[in-house]
Structure 1
């Protein structure tokens, strides 16, 4: 899922950069004949800690393959540096909440019964831990919004694999959402349309055969929301 989606000869409507959660968005956009550049450039955990460097007016991704895919996306738009981007940036960086919520990483904060102290998941301590975990993604949003570009971040499928703690998943993604809103990022949130009473993603919007991704139907909802926002 790390091959970028190609554009057509029609001018691209947006640049898509993200992890594997961006794949269904690219698939849906292509199915709708919506021209864009980019696609997934790595896995979710690759974009939590520091993953890029600013060199002059450009951004360089530290992973060689991610950098190659990123450069290919820019070239498809006819630009060499990100600050020349003239279309909105659509991104999934930082929203790999299932990775952030890996249960064993939070064991130190649970008691012998597996419970968290009352208020922990709503505390400033928890929020600071999440901010530290996703500091690379937050730095990327800081950089792109400071350039004055329009940035839209896509909330992830509401799917919690066995390795992850659902309580941390839901609390962490809310911290991330609020952090991005505070930076002027537009957060695309279709949870009310795809979840059941438990807050988890309904099967109709889940990719068959895996435990974390949304399917084409989910991607279509996200693309429809992007179009509603004028992309």
Structure 2
């Protein structure tokens, strides 16, 4: 008889590849706690994934950050894949948080030149073409990454950030910037997990039960569980 093995590996069972900044952490923790098979996790800080941060090598991407590239190759190894193009051929979806660190985009000082004398913005500025173009230019690397993955035929899901605005950032710019990013991703055919109505208070801020208690930016495990549930509802 010909010997055979019934052993399954992560490469056989993984439901998605997770790539992102620190906002990907709660998603990964929730998936691990639930015994949900996936590969990946955070590969850098949010500010690392706005401007140009990768190059192309054939259909694969090569991250310019040494540590990010090392982590990425390790995750691909777990999936027994040679590159993101190989994952696309196998139909492994991508879950990503790149570009959604809106608190960096909303750094207050960066927008002072556009303010009126009273510190506010002209009516329509935050919903206008100039603001849209400025935000898209700031996150151009992330948008290019998503566009490449979609061009390979990958199913791509992006996760919006916790609604937590640190003191360095302008809350109104934060909200408007993430809306621009969301629209841009939908235009690319990316599914966007948007939990704002489910996790915020009347002022639009993340409720404590979905916030990491040790800092002012991240979501917690409960937030990650909601995201995981949404991923399941999307068919991942």
TM category, shorter: over 0.9
- 1:8 CA drift (Å): 5.2
Q: Take 1:144 and 1:171, find their aligned partners in 2: how far apart are those partners?
A: 25
Superposition RMSD on alpha carbons, in Å? 1.1
- 1:126 CA drift (Å): 0.3
Specify the structure having the higher radius of gyration (Cα): 2
Q: Which residue is 1:209 aligned to?
A: 214
User: What whole-Å deviation, never above 9, does each CA across 1:114-147 have from its counterpart, x for those lacking one?
Assistant: 1111111011000000000000000001100000
Match of 1:20 among 16, 19, 22: 22
Q: Which residue is 1:142 aligned to?
A: 147
Q: 2:221 matched to 1:221? A: no
Map 1:66-215 to 2 at 5 A. Answer: 66-85=68-87, 86-215=91-220
CA contact (8 A) 2:47 2:104 kept: yes
Identify if the C-alpha distance between structure 1 residues 204 and 10 changes in structure 2 by more than 3 Å, giving closer, same or farther. farther
CA contact (8 A) 2:11 2:78 kept: no
Q: Take 1:61 and 1:9, find their aligned partners in 2: how far apart are those partners?
A: 22
- 1:57 CA drift (Å): 2.1
- 1:10 CA drift (Å): 6.4
Runs of 4+ that moved beyond 2 A: 7-10
Q: Which stretches in structure 1 are left out of the alignment for 5+ residues?
A: 1-6
CA contact (8 A) 1:59 1:82 kept: yes
Q: Which residue is 2:5 aligned to?
A: none
CA contact (8 A) 2:94 2:154 kept: yes
CA contact (8 A) 2:10 2:78 kept: no
- 1:9 CA drift (Å): 7.7
Identify if the C-alpha distance between structure 1 residues 208 and 140 changes in structure 2 by more than 3 Å, giving closer, same or farther. same
TM-score by length of 2: 0.93
Deviation larger for 217-226 or 77-86:
77-86
CA contact (8 A) 1:10 1:35 kept: no
TM-score by length of 1: 0.95
Q: Which stretches in structure 2 are left out of the alignment for 5+ residues?
A: 1-8
Deviation larger for 78-87 or 92-101:
78-87
